[in-house]
Structure 1
Amino acid sequence: MDKHEDDLDLEARGYSREMPRQFSTFSLVALSFSLTCTWSGTGSSIGISLNDASAAGTIWSLPVAALMTAFLSAGVAELASAYPVAGAQYYWAFCVASKDWRTFASYMNGWLSILGWWLASGAACNFIASLILSIVILWYPDYEIQNWQQWLVYIGLVWFAVALNVFGSQLLPLYNRFNFIISCVTLTATTITLFVCSRHNNAPPKWTFGDATNSTGWQSDGLAFLLAISNAVYAFLGTDCGAHVCEEIRDPAKNTPKVIMYPVLIGVATAFPFACACMNAITDMDAVLNAPSGLPLIQIYYQSTGSKAASSVLLALFAFCFFGCTVGNGTTCSRTIWAVSRDNMLPFSKVWATVNPRFQMPLNALCLTGTVVSLYGLIFLGSSTAFSAMVGAAVIFLQTSCALPQAIILWRGRDILPERPFSLGRYGFAINLIAVIWVVLLDILSCFPTEMPVTKENMNYVSVVSVGLTGIVLALYLFAKRGKYLGPRMPNELNHGDICHVSEGQGFDDGAWADHSESFSKKE
């Protein structure tokens, strides 16, 4: 499919191309890999997995999390192939839901996706800030990190990522390819270093691959392992990235599914050996779990190498690779906000729905993301526990937004999907069912206290945050957007207006959606 046909297909769905199709399949896979950053995500949350189910739980939770993410991502890839529009989840929910519920389903799912990206962006920036300050503590053990100091580093990272997305907008494909290569080199060098340096003083293989000691306080070892799996899922977040950038790639219906699925496979292939190397390097478990900086990874590096300089270099390279996740979050979230704002989903949508002609990217939407993530970081000044709860909510929002359209398909029947290049075929029902059941279980596990007995300090407030933010979005819909938000601009609908098909020569039904542009132009 050439560029002209791609644009015609997009116009048939009700939109005109506003951004250049500058990403190749490889550069978009590199973006998705940088954003999911599975091996780095594993390193960032390794302490929680160690507490949940020790070394074996940390290692073996990864392939399980990868398998379940693959089921969920396969359903996402099929939807992206059927409906290649940058709004992704909100657009899919509208297309597959019944007429009575499609507007509401679209609105709520769009917000779930946006909230998830915002919270995930904050989590990435906060962890990188912790990495930087933990290097300081390694050299100056008496130094105590103050929350306001970490917040300032956090703010610098947020807006540096924004600046790269703006001033380097046309170099993003090159940057992501570069980051992909550097990440692979860093991973390889780190894994080899950990194995070589700890070859004479390493953990016994029996402990590395077989010890699943439950340190959570929960009586059930099975539950502890499930908690370790739910923690490992964090390393696979963001596989839907390619769906939000699909209008910037050629032949998106065919290529976007590759962009969604490849990072899952690459992720588990990179994270598993890295986790094995880290577990093999541990000689003092208590020191790892009680690292002065609060960051177990640097203690693992130090126990392996015995060198502050080597540990600092490895951690600095780790932070550099992980920063690619922050840049990718900004890219993806800005496209998501821009896409939903084209259909008047957000307050002041006209502001966020513009593409800057100079930088050829949604500048306003990106600045909104930077501002919200910066303000969200203020919570850390008051309570790191509350901040962590909002990070956990990112898992719920992102995974649920991917599962909801699949749940609707299960309810209404898979025959509502149009023809698409990537189809799950006869396995579709089983894959969608497993994905939905998994996300329901994951949402429940994410709300469980990670330690027993529960105290004010270790209480898991994810459920409070999730319900609270969802309640705010629901109130916004009921009191501000109901009747004004009409859903995505749709092509002529077939099959009694129940399926969002697009066929050659089929265009936007201006008569059926005449009120759409009028609603969009109303003053917010």
Structure 2
Amino acid sequence: MTSDAGKTTPSPKEAVTKAADEGTSLGNFDDARLSGLGYKPELQRKFTLLSCLAVGFSISNSWFAVTGALTTGIGNGGASIYMYGAILVALVHVCIGASLGELASAYPNAGGQYYWVIRLAPGGCRAFLSYLTGVAAWAGAMITGASVALVIGQGVVGIIILCRPEIVYKQWMGFVGYQIANILVFFLNCSNRFLPGLNKASLYISLTSFLTITLAVLIASPKKASADAVFRSYTNSSGWDNDVVAWILGLLGVNWGFSCLDSCVHMAEEIPHPEKNIPKAIMGTIAIGFITSWVYSIAIFFSMQDIDRVIATPTMVPVLELFRQALRGNIPGAVFLEVLVVLTAIGCLMSIHTWQSRLMWSFARDKGFPFSSYLAVVAGAPYSVPLWSHIFSCFWIAVLGILYWVSTTAFFSLLTGGILMQYISYMIPVSLLLIGGRRISIPGPFYMGRWGWFANGVLVVWSLFTLVFYSFPLCFGCDSNYLLLCSSILVRPGKEDFQGCQEGA
């Protein structure tokens, strides 16, 4: 990778040596190492391990993902998806998180996956694979932001409809709520001064909301489902004759709760000792995510009273109807719990904006986007953030909202592409690592040794597995997903100008 045209980036070993030599003059070893890799340190290292973990968990937000994707799994496996599918997906993502953490530990750079490809790929295909990885990573972040913006918009509209039953939900209502959410949350990422604190606050809000909702529905629900109904029941109303296929497709909703693990990776230039702290943040995100999502799922399914009304609710927010039932028809109580969900979603979208703007900014440094000369600029005080990249990313989220207004089928199908794009961006560098015999010139503190073969292999196999099955529609006979549309739109701009380094690892 190059920061100036024609300048060859040193190998990691040379960069570390140079950083050690210049560390005193630069005053910070992390920045010195970054300078040795050919990049000018531009972002302030104001994030701590806790605030980086807050970014990761606020985005993955596993219990919140169960809330947002409740109907996804109910018809494709029922409670078993959330009881046992969550265990399977969590174990897989321990391997995925470990693989990402290992590479982040060896190559701590805000570019993340696309930068790792540059270090690991052979010269002939390095630029192409790196560019493909960078575009896939950013597309995944952007689509994820679109999904959460809709959750916020629909949540607010759902509250209004619950209080005013005469109102009938229309697509334009969700569209307006979506756009307002995207615009308002945009301002939370415009200054780096308060951003670490805001991310910590979003973590605390999420965990407090999780505890409040879990206890409220368990304590207040008039009757509890049987243990057999929660732990042994299986439901397939998807239209798929094959129960295994239906169950696999139902994993998509659970899978969202363990996605976006690379969000921590792109904070590498804003946190001290990223080679140690980023792997910790990734693994902490998975651990907290599994505990909260599993406990929350148990509470939700033990408290569910009428599943048919939950699915067919006129509010278009299934969990809001579940809250109303569990609280014995108490509308103010249900509204309060849904407000907690919306606040959690706002924190989630704020962290997604942080994630996607850093990803775009780092990619623009290497001319991966049109208008890279603007997108690669870090705004001066009082902002101290890549403001143009933030604006451009939020603009594309707004554009995706138009797709929801035009066709909900196309929009929801496209959302699946968000998680698949992430897996593509993970699979490419890890596959290159395996092909190269897992040779890393200077392994970081999180180097896995021979256990890395297993973790890396699980990541690649799972990515290929989901690329096949998640491309099927959840319900047999529904329109297929629009992943290819997303790929064709996003893969082209900036490719000719993209710069790759001249040497690998």
TM-score by length of 2: 0.92
Structure 1 residue 82, shift from structure 2 partner: 0.9
**CA deviation vs aligned residue, 1:362-421 (integer Å, no higher than 9, x gap):** 000000011111111011111111110111110110122112111111222101453211
Q: Is the 8 A contact 2:76 2:237 kept in 1?
A: yes
CA shift, 1:56, in A, is 2.1
Which whole-Å deviations, capped at 9, do the CAs of 1:295-320 have from their partners, x for residues lacking one? 21111111110211111000001110
Q: Which amino acid aligns with 1:487?
A: G
| Aligned mate of 1:272, from 276, 294, 298 | 294
In structure 2, distance between residues paired with 1:197 and 1:344: 56
Letter in 2 for 1:28: C
Measure, in 2, the Cα distance between the counterparts of 1:201 and 1:469. 45
The CA distance in 2 between the partners of 1:196 and 1:347, in whole Å, is 54
Determine the C-alpha separation between the residues in 2 that align with 1:66 and 1:138.
35
Does the 8 Å contact 1:305/1:311 carry over to 2? yes
Distance 2:241 2:83 in 1: 21
Matched, 1:319 2:336: no
1:469 matched residue in structure 2: 486
| Distance in 1 (alpha carbons) for counterparts of 2:297 and 2:124 | 48
Structure 2 equivalent of residue 494 of structure 1? none
Shift of residue 20 of structure 1?
Answer: 0.6
CA distance in 1, matches of 2:485, 2:176: 27
Matched letter for residue 212 of structure 2: A
Looking at structure 1, the residues matched to 175 and 341 of structure 2 have their Cα atoms a distance apart, in angstroms, of 20
Q: 1:474 to 1:380 in 2, by over 3 A?
A: closer
Check conservation: 1:342, 1:349, Cα contact below 8 A.
yes
**Cα deviation per residue 1:419-463 (whole Å; 9 max; x = unaligned)?**
2111111111111011100011111111112112x0xxx323x2x
Which runs of 5 or more residues in structure 2 are unaligned?
1-19
Q: 2:401 aligns with which of 372, 377, 380?
A: 377
What residue in structure 2 maps to residue 368 of structure 1? Answer: 392
**Alpha-carbon distance in structure 1 between the residues aligned to 2:253 and 2:358:** 27
Task: Measure how far apart 1:474 and its partner are.
Answer: 4.2
Q: Which amino acid aligns with 2:297?
A: A
Which of 190, 195, 206 in structure 1 is aligned with 2:213? 190
Partner residue in 2 for 1:255: 277
Q: What amino acid maps onto 1:308 in structure 2? A: I
Higher deviation after alignment, 408-417 or 301-310: 408-417
Looking at structure 2, the residues matched to 215 and 417 of structure 1 have their Cα atoms a distance apart, in angstroms, of 52
Q: 1:231: which partner in 2? A: 253
2:310 is the counterpart of 1:288: yes
- Out of 435, 451, 454, the residue aligned to residue 430 of structure 1 is 454
Which stretch has the larger CA shift, 157-166 or 414-423? 414-423
Which one of 367, 370, 388 corresponds to residue 347 of structure 1? 370
Q: Distance in 1 between matches of 2:491 and 2:205?
A: 43
Match of 1:332 among 334, 342, 355: 355
Once the two structures are TM-superposed, the CA of residue 473 in structure 1 deviates from its matched residue by: 4.0
**65-74 vs 91-100, which moves further:** 65-74
Which amino acid letter does the alignment assign opposite residue 162 of structure 2?
A: L
Retained in 1: the 8 A contact 2:65–2:253?
no
AA in 2 matched with 1:394 = G
Contact kept, 8 Å, 1:116 with 1:397, in 2: the verdict is yes
Query: Residue 479 of structure 2 corresponds to which residue in structure 1?
Result: 459
Partner of 1:179: 202
**How much is the aligned-residue C-alpha RMSD, in angstroms?**
1.5
The counterpart of 2:91, out of the listed 63, 67, 75, is 67
Structure 1 match to 2:33: 9
Query: Residue 166 of structure 2 corresponds to which residue in structure 1?
Result: 142
Specify the code of the residue in structure 2 equivalent to 1:481.
K
User: How far is the alpha carbon of 1:93 from its aligned partner?
Assistant: 1.1
Secondary structure in 2 matching 1:170: coil
How big is the shift at 1:146? Answer: 2.0
Q: Is the 8 A contact 2:118 2:504 kept in 1?
A: no
**Could you tell me the TM-score, scaled by structure 1's length?**
0.89
Counterpart of 1:409 in structure 2 is 433
Q: Per the alignment, do residues 59 and 295 of structure 1 end up closer, same or farther by CA in structure 2, a change over 3 Å counting?
A: farther
What code does the residue aligned with 1:279 have? F
Structure 2 distance, partners of 1:188, 1:152, is: 31
What is the SS of the residue equivalent to 1:378? Answer: helix
Q: CA deviation at 1:468?
A: 2.5
Give unpaired runs (5+ residues) of structure 1. 491-496, 500-524
The CA distance in 2 between the partners of 1:253 and 1:367, in whole Å, is 29
Q: Does 1:55 pair with 2:75?
A: no
2:71–2:318 CA contact under 8 A, matched in 1: yes
**How far apart are the structure 2 equivalents of 1:342 and 1:459?**
38
Assess if the C-alpha contact under 8 Å between 2:131 and 2:495 holds in 1: no
- Cα distance in 1, alignment partners of residues 466 and 252 from structure 2: 6
Contact 1:112 1:398 in 2 (8 A): yes
Q: Distance in 2 between matches of 1:354 and 1:445?
A: 40
Q: Determine helix, strand or coil for the equivalent of 2:196.
A: helix
Q: How many residues align?
A: 479
Alpha-carbon distance between aligned partners in 2 of 1:66 and 1:402, rounded to the nearest angstrom: 16
Q: Distance in 1 between matches of 2:238 and 2:173?
A: 31
Structure 2 CA distance, aligned partners of 1:244 and 1:416? 20
Q: Deviations over 1:65-84 (max 9, x none)?
A: 11112211111111111110
In 2, the alpha carbon distance for the partners of 1:136 and 1:65 equals 35
